[in-house]
Amino acid sequence: MHLFDDTVVIPNLKSQLGFMFGDEGILVAEEDTFFSAPDIDISAYDRIVVCMSGGKDSVACLLHLIDLGVDMSKVELWHHDVDGREGSSLMDWPFMADYNRQLAAAFELPIYFSWLEGGFEGEMLKENSYSRPHHVETPEGIIVLERDTRRARPGTRMKFPQVGANLQTRWCSSALKIDVARRALNNQARFDGQKVLFITGERREESSNRAKYNQLEPHACDRRSGRKARHVDAWRPVLHWDEEQVWDALRRHGVIAPVPYRLGWGRSSCMKCIFNDATIWATLREHFPGSLDAIAAYEERFETTISRNRINILDVSKQARPLDIEDEEAFVQAMKHEYSLPIIQSSGDWVMPRGAFEKTGCGPS
């Protein structure tokens, strides 16, 4: 299955909502799927992978494992570089990779990076061609997973992902995150014969779509009954949490709020996430001059806007008043590639960030 392009493998959310791919086809795994599973026997797993975006929810997942007394020698963090490592800087925060690297170091955990070659921009510019290889960091080094052009199909993007819950049109999540993680799991022999817990930080409170997610289910890469005996469960430990519980976890552990929340963002995704609302686009135009120019140029080239109302990004940014950024320290950090701020608070009172409980730039409903 790892040879298929994301246009074949991930046509929709179905494979992530209670189904698993068996060696002979698609098998329903209802007996191993639980809509609500806040408490599980984590000690039964050999390896625990935490998908670490650098946002509050993925950080809360890690902190929850600590609260549960998990054997942290089993835990590793995975971060997907949205812009890749080939020179593009179109979408993500410049500091995000280094922030995650330093977060892992603060908790003395290994972190492995992976990315689609060319990142968001390279995939977006695909025109009657195959998707590029995946690069996956492993304990032994980086492996490059080429595409099998005998089985994959060429395709064309030439437009931004479209705002919505469908992964066919909102391809950034499928192509740059889900598919990267899938191939990383499928192509490392160290997971064969192991019981793996794959953790992500979705919460039901975030959207009506996520409210329907199962909390524990076999991952799409699960092969517990197959030749490789690779048992992979997907668990969403904070799925039932509200935002107050998330911030409380960071406060108790002294984890300083990530930079986007300190600036006033209500969520920490890409700096120029397609789900940004007019307030965030206005803030980028006002406080980060020129940051929207490349996006505007691509919208004009594609004759397709990010906005479903067919309004170009520069005009959208003029529809709202920008945020007043008061955290100068976070503002200076925002455009640096090296993360130089502390991760854990060493003294003083923990500060709730301005963006906490804000609804700016919410995701798909």
Q: Please report the pLDDT score of residue 165 as a whole number.
A: 79
Alpha helices in 273-355 (DSSP H): 278-287, 293-302, 313-316, 328-334
- At position 218, the amino acid (one-letter code) is P
Q: Which residues pair with 216 in a beta bridge?
A: 34, 235
Alpha helices in the chain (DSSP H): 6-9, 56-67, 96-106, 119-124, 171-173, 179-186, 243-253, 259-263, 278-287, 293-302, 313-316, 328-334
Q: Per this entry, what is the length of the chain?
A: 365
**What are the phi and psi torsion angles at 75 (to 5°)?**
-95, 140
- At position 33, the amino acid (one-letter code) is T
Q: What domains does the chain contain, in order, with CATH numbers?
A: 6-10+17-22+42-235 (3.40.50), 260-334 (no CATH)
Query: Where is 75: in which H helix or E strand?
Result: strand 75-80
Q: What is the mean pLDDT of each run of 10 residues along the chain (365 residues)?
A: 39 40 40 94 98 98 98 98 97 98 98 98 96 96 92 90 84 95 98 98 94 97 96 98 98 98 96 96 98 98 94 97 97 98 95 92 50
DSSP string across 139-201:
TTEEEEE---TTTS--B---SPPPSSS-TTTSHHHIIIIIHHHHHHHHT-GGGTT-EEEEE--
Q: Please report the pLDDT score of residue 148 as a whole number.
A: 86
d(CA 148, CA 254): 46
CA proximity to 188, closest of 134, 139, 239: 139
Q: Which residues pair with 232 in a beta bridge?
A: 196
Q: Please report the pLDDT score of residue 164 as a whole number.
A: 81
Q: Please report the pLDDT score of residue 30 as a whole number.
A: 67
CA proximity to 265, closest of 165, 337, 349, 334: 334
Q: Are 233 and 216 in contact (CB under 8 A)?
A: yes
Burial 182-219 (b: 16+ CB within 10 A, else e): bbbbbebeebeebbbbbbbbbbbbbbebbeebbbbbbb
SS3 call for 82: coil
CA proximity to 317, closest of 355, 356, 361, 255: 361
